[in-house]
């Protein structure tokens, strides 16, 4: 069979798949609420027609998709390990203990800043901003209401703290997706985010402290529900410093740059042993939770009918099945990316982009604007990271900038911003879980704003920017 001759797309043809994808996602997912995975498949199908028009064969398209998915496999395996580790930390009591003692350090004058720090710690340990907001965040809002404190400020602190951990935790899906899209590695990405995330957190902490010192608390009016939640946790778990060992293993692996998946599995294995020999769960529970997540059926130490819905929502999570949606989204997004790349559309777009992007600042600023635009259009934190990451990765390389600069910018302007968009899944969830409208807590989510600002500050000053040459020297020095 004669091979079809492929031609280079025009600029209009190159833009067509991206414009179609934005329209399909905005209308289908944003307005009608159709599954984003299905919308991405439609986008990939449309792109395949454009590619076929350009002379790309079906075999070439499949090869392009396969290459992208092969690139995603390490991240997919990490996500499965994250599902296992979350369920094992529930069995051991590691996550519940962090919440149990976190609630007890609340002080009215420092309530806002404490709320930010508690949510930051919890979300860093669990890797989920949604889990942090939906559990400890709800408790903090209840306490704020009892103290007569501002609920919008409290919600802003909860959201900001939760997304601090979402950015920095090796267990977070977005923290794994960003280096995947940019071409960096997980721990390079996390270490590089310190340049923007720490200053952003310090700025938020200062503002929450000032706001707290200038407000008065009426006194805790009703702590009954909080006390019940604490009692529920104590009836299920035994508390001991031993429960921190799984976290220490993760921190040690991160600091010493050990292979991610083995470290996660070792931490999970230790947590499972603690769950069996200290908390009283069975090996059957271990294997079941690793697949389907922790469930209240595994609890034998107390009457589960007395457990509050908030506590059940907190505990019943994890397992490899919990990562199915994220993995499916990666496969669908990379199917689109594989076809558009094989058609040569990205190369043409990048050629035109390079005429506009001349400096480091304009490149990072363009990344910020593109990422925020994608967030506004799709309302999806995953797509906000995957699509701009795929588009800009070659540009950063051509300009001699390490991929970790891109992965960090994607998180600074993507992960944090999505939670401030009322029609996004993250914004709707935060508003629903905390009972505070997105538009009300938005002005007080200082960490999210400071993250974007720090991305631009680093771009303009060169602070925290790593070139490919510097990265190569660093790697040789490490060897």
pLDDT tens-digit map of 244-282: 998 888 778 767 767 778 888 999 999 999 999 999 999
pLDDT tens-digit map of 67-84: 878 877 877 887 788 789
pLDDT at 220 over 50: no
pLDDT at 344 over 90: no
CA distance 25 to 428: 17
* Average pLDDT value over all residues in the chain: 84
The three-state secondary structure class of 149 is coil
pLDDT at 219 over 60: no
**Better pLDDT: 38 or 424:** 38
Percent of the chain whose predicted confidence (pLDDT) is above 70: 91
Tell me which of 42-46, 79-83, 446-450 is least confident: 79-83
Tokens read off for 251:
């921190």
Tell me which of 88-97, 269-278, 323-332, 408-417 is least confident: 323-332
pLDDT at 444 over 80: yes
pLDDT tens-digit map of 126-147: 777 776 776 677 668 867 775 6
Tokens read off for 398:
């051509």
Average pLDDT over residues 453-466: 92
pLDDT at 425 over 70: no
pLDDT at 121 over 70: yes
- At what angle are helices 36-53 and 11-24 packed, to 10 degrees? 160
pLDDT at 459 over 80: yes
Average pLDDT over residues 181-205: 90
The burial class, CB within 10 Å (0-12 / 13-18 / 19+), for 224 is: exposed
**Better pLDDT: 157 or 315:** 157
How confident is residue 454, by pLDDT bands cut at 50, 70 and 90? very high
pLDDT at 475 over 70: yes
Q: Parse the chain into domains and list their residue ranges.
A: 74-323
How confident is residue 1, by pLDDT bands cut at 50, 70 and 90? very low
Task: Read off the pTM.
Answer: 0.70
| pLDDT at res. 135 | 62
Tell me which of 134-148, 222-236, 284-298 is least confident: 134-148
Residues contacting residue 467 through CB under 8 Å, at least 6 positions apart = 400, 401, 402
pLDDT tens-digit map of 376-411: 766 667 778 888 888 888 889 888 899 999 999 999
| pLDDT at res. 222 | 45
């Amino acid at each position: 069979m004669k091979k079809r001759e492929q031609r280079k797309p025009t600029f209009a043809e190159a833009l067509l798949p991206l414009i179609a994808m934005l329209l399909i996602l905005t209308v289908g997912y944003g307005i009608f609420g159709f599954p984003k995975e299905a919308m991405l498949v439609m986008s990939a199908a449309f792109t395949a027609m454009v590619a076929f028009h350009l002379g790309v064969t079906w075999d070439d398209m499949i090869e392009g998709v396969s290459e992208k998915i092969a690139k995603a496999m390490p991240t997919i395996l990490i996500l499965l390990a994250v599902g296992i580790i979350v369920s094992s930390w529930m069995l051991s009591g590691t996550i519940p203990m962090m919440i149990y003692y976190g609630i007890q350090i609340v002080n009215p004058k420092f309530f806002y800043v404490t709320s930010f720090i508690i949510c930051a710690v919890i979300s860093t340990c669990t890797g989920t901003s949604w889990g942090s907001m939906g559990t400890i965040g709800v408790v903090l809002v209840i306490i704020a209401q009892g103290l007569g404190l501002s609920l919008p400020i409290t919600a802003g602190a909860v959201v900001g703290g939760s997304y601090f951990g979402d950015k920095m935790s090796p267990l977070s899906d977005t923290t794994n997706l960003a280096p995947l899209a940019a071409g960096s590695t997980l721990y390079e990405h996390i270490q590089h985010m310190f340049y923007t995330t720490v200053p952003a957190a310090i700025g938020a902490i200062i503002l929450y402290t000032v706001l707290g010192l200038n407000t008065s608390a009426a006194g805790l009016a009703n702590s009954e529900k909080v006390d019940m939640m604490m009692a529920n946790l104590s009836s299920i778990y035994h508390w001991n410093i031993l429960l921190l060992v799984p976290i220490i293993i993760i921190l040690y692996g991160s600091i010493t740059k050990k292979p991610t998946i083995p470290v996660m599995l070792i931490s999970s294995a230790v947590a499972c042993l603690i769950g069996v020999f200290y908390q009283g769960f069975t090996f059957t529970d271990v294997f079941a939770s690793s697949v389907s997540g922790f469930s209240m059926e595994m609890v034998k130490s107390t009457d589960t009918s007395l457990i509050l819905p908030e506590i059940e929502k907190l505990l019943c999570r994890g397992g490899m099945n919990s990562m199915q949606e994220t993995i499916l989204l990666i496969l669908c997004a990379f199917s689109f990316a594989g076809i558009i790349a094989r058609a040569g559309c990205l190369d043409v777009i990048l050629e035109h982009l390079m005429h506009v992007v001349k400096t480091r600042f304009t490149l990072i600023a363009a990344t910020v604007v593109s990422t925020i635009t994608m967030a506004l259009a799709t309302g999806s934190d995953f797509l906000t990271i995957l699509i701009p990451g795929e588009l800009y990765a070659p540009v950063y390389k051509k300009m001699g900038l390490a991929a970790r600069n891109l992965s960090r910018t994607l998180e600074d302007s993507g992960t944090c911003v999505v939670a401030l968009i009322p029609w996004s899944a993250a914004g709707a969830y935060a508003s629903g879980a905390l009972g505070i409208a997105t538009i009300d807590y938005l002005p007080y989510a200082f960490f999210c704003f400071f993250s974007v600002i720090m991305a631009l500050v680093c771009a303009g000053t060169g602070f925290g920017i790593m070139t490919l040459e510097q990265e190569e020297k660093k790697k040789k020095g490490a060897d």
